[in-house]
């Protein structure tokens, strides 16, 4: 059994991973969702300008996770700090 087999597929999409970054008074959410067809979407949401959000689509869970890691690394390298995260299908937040 792999990770995908443990996630619910009866929902339109389910949260796989969500990190919230903060720098000064600004926050960005970078989240990864799995769709019912087992494709993935990564959402990058700047809280101060939600219409500027970006959604990237992936067929492979590995590609989606690698892209999430790349974005997270770039944000941290540019002074953003992780202030909250979740890693469950229910998306329960954990705050540092």
Read off the pLDDT of each residue in 31-60 and give the average, rounded to a whole number: 96
Instruction: Quickly state the pLDDT bin for 87 (edges 50, 70, 90).
Output: confident
Q: What mean pLDDT is predicted for residues 1-29? A: 76
DSSP SS3 for 90: coil
CA distance 82 to 80: 7
Residue appearing with tokens 């995260």:
85
Q: Quick check: 78 pLDDT over 70?
A: yes
Closest CA to 19 of 36, 3, 37, 43: 43
Does residue 88 surpass a pLDDT of 70? no
Whether the pLDDT of residue 26 is over 70: the answer is: yes
- At residue 96, does pLDDT exceed 70? no
Burial of 49 (0-12, 13-18, 19+ CB in 10 A): exposed
Q: Please tell me the predicted confidence (pLDDT) of residue 24.
A: 96
Annotated domain spans of the chain: 3-86
The label of the residue with tokens 């959410």 reads 29
Mean of pLDDT values over 52-79: 96
What token pair was written down for 25?
Answer: 């008074």
What mean pLDDT do residues 26-46 have?
95
């Amino acid at each position: 059994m792999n990770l995908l087999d443990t996630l619910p597929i009866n929902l339109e999409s389910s949260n796989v991973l969500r990190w919230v970054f903060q720098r000064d008074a600004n926050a960005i959410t970078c989240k990864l969702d799995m769709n019912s067809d087992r494709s993935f979407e990564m959402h990058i949401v700047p809280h101060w300008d939600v219409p500027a959000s970006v959604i990237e689509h992936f067929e492979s869970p590995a590609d989606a996770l690698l892209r999430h890691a790349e974005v997270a690394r770039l944000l941290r390298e540019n002074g953003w700090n992780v202030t909250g995260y979740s890693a469950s299908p229910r998306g329960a937040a954990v705050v540092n």
